[in-house]
Each structure stands twice: as C-alpha cells, then as structure tokens.
Structure 1
Amino acid sequence: MTARTVAQAIHHVLGEPAELGVVAWDGSSAGDTSEGARVMRLHGPRAISYIASHPGQVGFARAYLQGDLTVDGMNEAYPYEELALMEGFNLQLPPLRELPDLVRVVREAGVRLTQLPELPDLETPSELRKLAHGIRHGKRRDAEAIKHHYDVSNRFYEMLLGPSMTYTCAVWPREDATLEEAQAEKYDLICRKLDLRPGMRLLDVGCGWGGMVRHAVKHYGVSALGVTLSQAQAAWAREKIEAEGLTGAQVRHGDYRDVTERGFDAVSSIGLTEHIGVRNYPAYFAFLRDRLRDEGRLLNHCITWRSPDHVPMRRGDFVPRYVFPDGELAASGTIVSEIERVGLEVHHHENFRQHYARTCAAWCQNLSAHWDECVAEAGLATARVWGLYLAGSVWNFEHNTIQLHQVLATRTSAEGEAGYPLRASFA
C-alpha cells in the first residue's frame, strides 16, 4: 500500500505489524491505536529526520533518546517487551515506486530530509574521527573507548550494579540467590578454578572496580595486582581497598600491555577480551602466557557469539554506536583455538549464557529502582541508553544470540607438567 500519511509511512517501514499502532504529531495514525493497544508516538518532524537518515536501529534509537519517539506504557528502565516486539518486525524501506509519494508526505509534514542529526554527547565517534585517536585497538584509542563506556559516573554504576560494583556475568548458585550472592559466587568459582592458595600472586587484567582483586586477597590470601584503563574505576577500587585494609591488593590505572611483572601463579581476564579485537587475540594471549610461571593458570571470561558464522557487529548497530566503541566478539571456539595457538593447554570450557540473562535482568531491576537518581546523575538520554542496552542484552542471552564462556588453561611446562589434577574439584 502506498504510504499516504506520516504514520502510515513509519508503520510501513516497520513492516505493518498488527501488534503496534503509530500516531504522528500531525494527527495521522496507522495500525491498531485503540485503547490499551501498544502505540508508538512521533512527537515532531525531527523524529522522521532521525529515522529517515538511519532507518534501522540507530534511527529509531536517536528519536527515542531525544524524546521525539515514545511508546505508550513503556518501562524506560526495562523496555524488554518493546524490544522483543521490535525483534519480530521486518524493517523495510518502501519500494522505489512509492518513494515520490513518501517524499511528498514528509515534506508536507515539515521534515527536512537533508539534515542528518547526530547525538555527539551520547554516540561514539565516527570511524574517521576515531582515527584522530590512533589505530583501532592502539593504546590511546582503547583508552578513549574505555572512557566512553566506563567513566559515566561511579555513583551511576553503584546504583546500577549494586554493592559488588561488578560489571560482568554473575554465577547463580541457586534459583533464589541475590545478585550480590551470585557475583560473590562468580569470583569464588574463578578463584577455585585458578586453584588460588595463600602466598600466590594473581594478575587481574581489566579489573574494573577491583572486585576480583579484593575477593581473592580477602578469601584466598593471595597478593593481587589489578589493572584498568578507567581512571574512575581505579580511584574507586583504591578507596575500597584502603577502607577494607587489604594490604595484598593493588589496582593500577593503565594499559595491561604495560605490566612488566612476570611469574604470576594465575591470571584472570574477566570481561576484557571483548575490548581486545579479534585480530589482536594472538598477541593478547601470548602476553598473558608470558606473565605466567610454568604450571600457572589462566581464566578467560568473555561474551561470545553462539556461532563462528555470526556476522560481526557493525558501526550502524546500536551497541557499537552507543555502548561499546570498537567492541568485538568471537565464537568460543575461536577463543579456545587462539589460547591453544600460543601454547597454553585448555582444560575446562564452560558456558554461562543463562546466568548472564539473569544478571542483566537484575541490573535492569536496579536501574528501575533508582531511575530518578540515575537520570539526575547521568542524564535522561544516558539512562535510556542503558535501559535499551540491558533489556536488549537480556533478550539476546535468553534467545542464544550471544553467550558467555569461561575457558581455563595452564602454561604447561616443556616437560608436560600442567599442575592440573586428574579430576578438577571446583564445580
């Protein structure tokens, strides 16, 4: 059907879903707009400018983040139902024969299609602008990417993540466990997998707010060095370490590649591999190998694609545009292969996909409980970004689009000594 109104044009782009009505600022409507129906509302011409300039995820996201698009009854802290509905839509541009009519409609509505509005305070820089900060995954550019994502505000993350200040997948020991219990279980499981014992030395790369460092020192008697590229994370972690009197814990602000110490008994990488870049895996895992003593252990914990055939994230997708600049994922088999390729021996490989769905849902609950405070701290648009991102993550983990894998390996000696038991007891 040829689009005759603004609302009909947008409804058509969405694939004319029966589950969603559209109402535009000019009074036009399309689809089911009856009382109680789910209705998308366009509040001005700028909404169409955003959608027309990027008629996929980014266009609709821009309009929503700016308040030019709303959906009746949507929970902004957890828009799971709306995102699940959008996943079923068949976004499509009108056929060529309908374009003249569509152009006429939007012009009559006051839309200037030559404008390509952007949200520079929220979006990651374009690829061209990012080149000013160096090559992809160079030290300077990585620092800029980490600053974009992790230096929102420590107070914002305290409300979002809860007391553990842990922004990685939790491990739920039982159905009724709390988020804090699940995060503590995650750290403890990693300590058990690494077979940490008093007097050992642990290196935690990409240590965040120092949760792993503090848990290992407090409960396993090791000395631990954590490294993070986020200045805000490092400052928060140091204050916490000092308050808890953990003399064996240290958090350093800097690039993991600048760690010169060697001979560690164990290395943990929890949620860092996503920032490394697939092409850099050989150098990354070789670097971690070289930090270990013979028979030392590596635990790598990261988000993965469910299949090696998955299409990589594109600049035009929501997550790389708004959340993870330069972020890259690979299938778990790629992670295992690259770890083995540098000479480490893989002993155990485990998928925590369902646990991450629960974790993201718990973060959404925290965001919802502290919505007004989070908006006051970081701004409405930023809070909306996190609501979309986390709700979308719940959906993707639940539907097995993405997974979370832990891979345990040893630096086995030239004589074949791995320091690994015949049967592991950490489960």
Structure 2
Amino acid sequence: MNIGIGLFGLGTVGTGVVKILQDNAEQISKRTGSELVVKHAVVNNLTKERTGFIKNFPITDDAEDILTNPEIHIVVEVMGTVDQAYDIIKKALFAKKHVVTANKDLIANRGQELVKIAEQNDVDLFFEAAVAGGIPILRTLSQSFTADEITRVAGIINGTSNFILTQMANNHLSYTNALHLAQEKGFAESDPTNDVEGFDAAFKLIILSNFAFGIQPSLNDISIKGMTNLTDTDISDAGSFGYAIKLLGVAERVGDENQAISIAVSPHLIPFTHPLATVNNENNAVLVNGESVGEIMLYGPGAGELPTANSVLSDLTNIAKDMALNTPGRPFNSFNQSIDLAKPSQRFARRFVVIEVDDTPGAMYSVTGIFAAAKVSFSDLKQTLATNGNARLVTLTHPASDAQLNLIKTTIRNADGINLRAEYKIFS
C-alpha cells in the first residue's frame, strides 16, 4: 500500500521527517505494511536552500497543491504558525485527509474543535510531537494508563528554561549570560518570552492535563510564574539546603478525596536526590503518578530535528496501521470528564521564601509574626547579608496553602522595611 504524505513546512522538524522517511523506508514498510512517501511540500520561502535529504518531490508555496491532491492521504503540519496552521488543518480534515501536527499552541487552544472535525470525517488527528519533543508521553498516557487513575503529571517540559537553569547552577552564569548562551546555541529565540515566562510549558501542560485527567483547561486556568526574577543567589541558597531549581509544569489531584485539579507552571525546588534534579540542559522529563503503577518517569530530548521528527513518524506509522485495518477516525484521546479546578486553599506545598528586611532591632520579630498570623511555620531558616546591606532571610516552610501565602504576600506589601524577594514551591 502506497501512502502519500503532504508536508507543510520544511524547517528543522520537516527536514527531519523527510530524512527519517527516506533513510528508514525499508524498516517502516516492514513494520507498517505500507510505503510512506512524501509527495509534495509547501513552504513560505521558496528561495531558501534546503539540504540533507533527496529532493524527489515538488516544493511549492500553494497550500492547494496538497489539499486538493488525491494522491496525498496524510498531511503533516510543522510550520510553527497558529492561524495559518489552523486553517490548513481544518481544510485537510474536511478533505478527509489524516493530519499529524507538532503545533502545541494550536492544539492547546483549538484542539478539541479539530478533534471533533476529524471524528466527523472519519480521519485521524495525532500530535505526539506537540509535547516534550522525542518523548512519547501522550501515547503513553492514552494507551498505558487506561486502567489506572492518574494522580499527578509533572515535569520539565521546556528545554530552553532548563538549559538556562543548568548553566546558572553548574557553571555559575547569571541569568542574562545563560540566556545569551542559549540563544547562541539555538536553544532560545531572540525573543525568549514564551519559554522563560512559562507560556510554552503552560500550553504543553494543557495538553497533558487533557490526556491525564480528561479535562480541557484554558490558559487562564493555569497559575503561571516564569523564571526571569530568579537569581543566582536563589540557586545558591537552594543548593545550600540540598535542592536544585527547575521550571516545572505540574497538574495534580488535590483537595478532599482528590476531587479537584491544580494546574501550575513555576520554578520549583527539587531535592538533589530526586531524578528530576539530574535532568540538565535542553532535555525534558515527565513524571506520571498512578494509583496502581506508582511513579514512572519518561526522559529524553525535548526538542531538536530528529527527536521531534521521530514523534511525528510515530504518528504517521499509527495512521498507516489504522488505514490498513480500516479503523481511522478514533480520537487520539477519548478521555473526558468534569472536575473542578482547585481553589487557593486546596493547593498545598512546602515553600522556599526569601525576604529582605532593614537591619534594625525587631525586624526578625516582625517577619516571624507575619508568618505566625498566617499559621505558617518554618522548617529551616538562614540569615545572611544582602547585597544592599540589609538582612536576607531564607526560609523553608512546612506545608502551606496558596491562600496562606497570599495572606503573607499582602501583609509584606503593606509593611515598611520588609520585601519579599522570592517564593517557590518545594517539589516532593
């Protein structure tokens, strides 16, 4: 069986898809019983030089060359846009062509609509490469946890932020210098806002939450805190207590009988002994906790030409198998349920809190009084001299809710001579 593929985008990932299809054609054919062949590619810039693969198919800039071609059965979208990609994918599905995409922003925002269109037209829509690059986390959640109840999915799901934090911790670079290095190596965009402010991880966490808990959160449902205010002193202080700092996406069941879902992206302190603390540079890792299986971790490259392309190929081969068995049109994830989002009073964690106070008599008493009023107690406390000559208090708390921390933050904002410099959760 010959299966024609139409490719939108021949950048890093698109080129990788073509390379794998051409280099591993015989193996793919043996495993799927079909021959997967790129019939056409559509790009925005026809003058750009493209190398690394055999150019045995036409390359044009007209989407209709793919959408109206009856020899093309599967559309692969790896363009990186949102509105244009949405229009193309929607047209492809209505044309009864299967679709594979790596577009996390689009799937997080409009994935449910596109899934319904795919079902109505009896075609497949897969997007494994949209989350964590080469790590097969979505198919693992949809197929390997069908009989288990997931209690938490969490991990390092943005390679840019992890590279920066690794350089700050291991090579003692400032945030600015670590960011510049990430840009030089191609791990960060010229405008890194989506990565360092946590939005990229939030889009991925929306998709993970859908697969893990059957819910469809929006960006407004997620508590998002980036890492731009994180300092090398924070990293050093965390290290002195035995913790690394990583930007994590965490979706978990909380509250009475675990009947609510907390969804957040923020820097977390992770014990040096925890596997996530050893995930460095651009690599990703996702933890899944199930009531039956316990905790598992999937680790691997979170981006890059061939790792991400490999996830695209996983979707392509699954479509080929569905076509052979005449079973297309089943949703990638059919798990849907209604669960309340957690309130601040239901989100508990130990905290790492950094406060600077005027070096005057009674300042420490004022700080401890603020925490006592919120019924938050310390498990560890360290006092050093801040760069401006004030006292720097670094505390680790016992478990406290977001509501309690909000009370502390409000009180500190209204207090004279006391400033909150950092507050991060401790992952356990």
User: Is TM > 0.5 for Structure 1 vs Structure 2?
Assistant: no
Higher strand share: 2
TM-score (norm 1): 0.31
